[in-house]
Amino acid sequence: MKSMRKGIVVRVFRTVAKRESLDPVEMVAFNSDAAKVLSICGPIRLVQTEIDKVIDQVAAGTKPLALPKILGKREKCIESAGFSNPYAKAKALAALHIATKVAEIDFAACFVLKELDQIAITAAAGHEAMRAAARLADEAREMEKANDSVFRKPHARDGRQLSKRKLLDKPQ
């Protein structure tokens, strides 16, 4: 379990289910909730930034490449998400806290518990926790949208990373 404590992205996606409990619909629903939390709350932005740094090194002909090492602690993730509303930021942080607990819940379901009913209830509890985290992440984004302050970092045609806050503004 120690390796599961290295960061947000690793902890959320390290959960493994028992084969007899795998249902494609449940798996997709869970993964979409996890992806929502990771994208809104900052871990995906951290990865995007690090990949862009490597691409810039390749374009510049840098050798050897400095490959990224990301420790996605919750606070670092939230800062990279760029929330301007402190309440939205708090909701996103809560979503990350809940999402990291999901790995612990699912670990017990997959590797500790032996009775099928305990496994099923515990795994379902993990899925419910991830759903709650996704709802909080959604609420955080909606708060930012209501203020027209969602932080966006699209790419220019030449690959540069741009940014903007207002929906109708041109990225700079």
Distance separating alpha carbons of residues 91 and 5, to the nearest angstrom: 22
Cβ neighbours, 10 Å, residue 142 = 12
1-5 own/partner pairs: CB under 8 Å, 24+ apart = 1/104, 1/107, 4/103, 4/104, 4/107
pLDDT computed for residue 11 by the predictor: 46
Question: Is residue 43 a part of any domain in this protein?
Answer: yes
Give the N- to C-terminal CA distance of the chain in Å, as an integer.
43
pLDDT computed for residue 145 by the predictor: 98
The total number of structural domains that make up the chain: 1
Question: Is residue 140 a part of any domain in this protein?
Answer: yes
Residues in the chain: 172
Query: Which residues of the chain are under the pLDDT cut of 70?
Result: 1-21
Question: Is residue 31 a part of any domain in this protein?
Answer: yes
Question: Is residue 103 a part of any domain in this protein?
Answer: no
Question: What confidence tens digit (pLDDT) does each residue in 111-149 have?
Answer: 899 888 898 899 999 999 999 999 999 999 999 999 999
Distance separating alpha carbons of residues 3 and 140, to the nearest angstrom: 29
Question: Is residue 34 a part of any domain in this protein?
Answer: yes
66 class by beta-carbon count within 10 Å (0-12 exposed, 13-18 middle, 19+ buried):
exposed
pLDDT computed for residue 165 by the predictor: 96
pLDDT computed for residue 6 by the predictor: 45
Question: Is residue 109 a part of any domain in this protein?
Answer: no
Domain that holds residue 38: 24-96+132-146
